[in-house]
Amino acid sequence: MFGLGLASYTVFVMAVLVICVTPGPDMVYILTHGISQGTRAGLLASLGMSAGMACHTLAVALGVATLVQSSETAYQVLRYAGAVYLLYLAWHTLRDSSGTTFDGEHTAAPPMTVFRRATIVNLLNPKIIIFYLAFLPQFVTPSAGSPALQLLALGVTFTVIGLLVDCVIALLSGRIGERLRKRPGSGTWLNRLAGVVFLGLAAKVAIA
């Protein structure tokens, strides 16, 4: 596959599986959406995160990500932009929680809004770019073919595996949310919990 050896590619897939099942901000974001807004929202958040990862993959393959890595200013701008956006999501979620009810059909953000927000959250995480630049090149063999194509293949693999894992998380969290929403008044508290989680993620991005 684009010059990648089978043994090296197998090791890469195993490493990616371990990384993807390890809890992180993206997984928490998807889990929160699945519980508070339902399975569909969780799946859309998973797709949004994967769209962001696909953009990161393309950036690394084209060499654009090296510009971010070499520029402290660019890194800090992305980092704080991500924190501000998460703060906006926290404010928006907490503001709407007071009027949320879950009698019958539960209230949820429009599908494209969930997808777009997840994509933006992923794109504004500079740590993913730095991780890609540190991790993917370890499995590239320059003598085996185009490094750019190898990086592209590795990034696509990472994105697909991540999407599959995230979809499982979305399905499980959606079922948990369905049970919780059957309890009177739970919708308000679920949204408030989601807002607090977004605040925590914003603090983590800004302080780390």
pLDDT tens digits, one per residue of 39-74: 999 999 999 999 999 998 988 888 766 665 666 776
pLDDT digits (tens, 9 = 90+) for 151-173: 888 999 999 999 999 999 999 99
Range of the domain at 77: 6-207
CB atoms within 10 A of CB 10: 11
User: The pTM is what?
Assistant: 0.73
CB atoms within 10 A of CB 73: 8
- Tell me whether residue 11 is in a domain: yes
- Tell me whether residue 1 is in a domain: no
Q: Please state, in angstroms and rounded to a whole number, the distance separating the CA atoms of residues 25 and 27.
A: 5
CA angle 64, 135, 16 (to 5 degrees): 120
**Residue 202 in contact with residue 87, Cβ under 8 Å?**
yes
- Tell me whether residue 124 is in a domain: yes
Domain count, the chain: 1
- Tell me whether residue 98 is in a domain: yes
User: What's the confidence (pLDDT) of residue 138?
Assistant: 80
